[in-house]
Amino acid sequence: MRVLIVLIFVTLLSACSSAPSQSLSSGKSPSLSNTSETKNQLLQMHREWKGAPYRLGGMSKKGIDCSGFVLLTFQSRFGRQLPRTTAQQRELGKSVSKSQLRAGDLVFFKTGWSTRHVGIYISDSQFLHASTSQGVMISSLNNSYWKQKYWLSRRL
């Protein structure tokens, strides 16, 4: 019983931070500098993945976690290799203020004592992410939950 409790606790602590990392590409994708094209690519990704369920450590439409979804989005839409975990993705690029967000910026949230969540900013306070409750979806930074949990943003 004690082992089960420890396993559950470790799983909760790791949240969107599971699986080994992958290499980071040093080159910038031209499409990320084009805000309109970036937004279109993110909306297309949403159309293709909408409702795909959340699964910790998942990397497919049968189940995907937040950092895995960010990794796959940047890989498939922008030709960029990102690290696998939220903690590693948080180290990328440069810090950007919430008021200066543009399409393609990563937005991070503190969703628990040690859990973190990541999504991709689209525009107009909207971001794309793999939600634990509703799967892949678009949410608003102005939503009371996300507004309270917002932590930081990074530009790649």
122 closest CA partner among 98, 146, 142, 138: 138
- Active-site residue (options: 64, 117, 141, 153): 117
- Active-site residue (options: 56, 107, 129, 141): 129
Active site residue 16: no
- Of the pLDDT bands very low, low, confident and very high (cuts 50, 70, 90), residue 16 is low
Q: What is the DSSP letter of 76?
A: H
pLDDT of residue 6: 39
Strand partners, 120: 106, 128
Take residue 45 and report the two structure tokens written for it: 């990704």
What pTM does this model have? 0.82
Q: What is the DSSP letter of 28?
A: P
Q: How far, in Å, CA of 22 to CA of 154, rounded?
A: 19
Active site residue 46: no
User: pLDDT for 54-108, tens place per residue?
Assistant: 999 999 999 999 999 999 999 999 999 999 999 999 999 999 999 999 999 999 9
Instruction: Report the b/e string of 52-65 with b at 16+ CB within 10 A.
Output: bbbbbbbeeeebbb
Q: Is residue 128 scored above 60 in pLDDT? A: yes
- Active-site residue (options: 64, 66, 72, 130): 66
